[in-house]
């Protein structure tokens, strides 16, 4: 569906963005955007395509002839917590309401990613006759560290842990360093990865291990249209909005696929 000027105005309100932001995303000035959205101003096709692409990334467009449903949420919090939230929003340079909304969206997106994966069901629940073996542990090694920030060299010094399930074929465990994948994957978490050595390229939205020869990093694989070239390109996107996207480098490759974050394990 081609968005109208009214659709664009409603969409900006719905996602908490302004025309300055839209101008930056479109590589133009705010005055040009104002002209696009004025009742008599021109709305060029290239601008419509770019804005339509942004709408698909930041949320669906609300047709202008359809009422926007606004839900109000009232929070009862202490004065101390309120001041803490205000400081955090101020440090990020956004209004408190936007900061809280984005934080809630991140938590909801993280939960969606978890529910999309097939949950691990203990053998004792799959086969009641094996309940006597439910306490069994499986030893494995942490093969190294993976950056959840910028690219860094991986640590190859292994250490042993005991976990509730054996590793599957081509699976291995690494320790995450950095906060770019929070809140889904915390700094210091142990994650199970599955080796990826051949095509096809994983689907957009998959969390991958990217290796460019200098080091490895953990990011979500996305596709985004380049405003300058008009081509759709792959990018490595952190889940934490405080970090910037990374453009894959020539010669780099996806070497692993994220499987899960280990919750129950003990050190050897």
Per-residue confidence band for 44, with pLDDT thresholds at 50, 70 and 90: confident
Q: What confidence tens digit (pLDDT) does each residue in 150-187 have? A: 544 444 456 889 998 999 999 999 999 999 999 899 99
Say how far apart CA 218 and CA 32 lie, in whole Å.
Answer: 38
CATH class in words for 138-267:
mainly beta
Measured torsion, CA atoms of residues 120, 123, 127, 133, in degrees rounded to the nearest 10: -160
How far does CA 53 lie from the centroid of its chain? 18
Per-residue confidence band for 131, with pLDDT thresholds at 50, 70 and 90: very low
Query: In the predicted model, what is the mean pLDDT of the chain?
Result: 80
Per-residue confidence band for 124, with pLDDT thresholds at 50, 70 and 90: very low
In the prediction, which pLDDT does 40 show? Answer: 81
Which residues contact residue 228 at a Cβ distance below 8 angstroms, ignoring those fewer than 6 apart? 27
Mean pLDDT for the stretch of residues 15-44: 87
Say how far apart CA 216 and CA 146 lie, in whole Å.
Answer: 6
Nearest to 61 by CA among 25, 108, 5, 10: 10
Say how far apart CA 147 and CA 15 lie, in whole Å.
Answer: 30
Which residues contact residue 135 at a Cβ distance below 8 angstroms, ignoring those fewer than 6 apart? none
In the prediction, which pLDDT does 92 show? Answer: 78
In the prediction, which pLDDT does 206 show? Answer: 94
Angle at 81 between CA 114 and CA 176, to 5 degrees: 35
């Amino acid at each position: 569906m081609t968005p109208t000027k009214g659709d664009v105005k409603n969409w900006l309100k719905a996602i908490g963005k302004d025309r300055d932001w839209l101008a930056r995303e479109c590589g133009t000035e705010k005055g040009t955007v104002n002209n696009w959205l004025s009742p008599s101003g021109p709305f060029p096709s290239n601008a419509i395509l770019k804005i339509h692409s942004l709408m698909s990334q930041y949320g669906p467009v609300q047709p202008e002839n359809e009422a926007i449903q606004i839900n109000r949420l009232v929070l009862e919090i202490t004065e101390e917590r309120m001041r803490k939230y205000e400081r955090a929003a101020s440090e990020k340079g956004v209004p408190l309401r936007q900061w809280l909304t984005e934080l809630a969206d991140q938590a909801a997106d993280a939960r969606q990613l978890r529910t999309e994966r097939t949950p691990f069901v203990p053998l004792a629940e799959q086969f009641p006759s094996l309940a006597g073996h439910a306490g069994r542990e499986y030893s494995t090694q942490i093969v190294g560290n993976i950056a959840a920030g910028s690219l860094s060299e991986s640590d190859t010094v292994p250490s042993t842990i005991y976990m509730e399930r054996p590793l599957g074929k081509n699976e291995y465990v690494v320790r995450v360093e950095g906060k770019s994948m929070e809140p889904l994957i915390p700094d210091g978490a142990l994650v199970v990865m599955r080796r990826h050595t051949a095509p096809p390229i994983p689907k957009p939205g998959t969390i991958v291990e990217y290796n460019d020869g200098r080091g490895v990093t953990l990011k979500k694989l996305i596709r985004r249209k380049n405003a300058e070239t008009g081509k759709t390109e792959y990018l490595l996107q952190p889940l934490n909005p405080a970090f910037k996207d990374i453009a894959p480098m020539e010669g780099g490759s996806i070497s692993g696929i994220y499987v899960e974050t280990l919750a129950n394990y003990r050190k050897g």
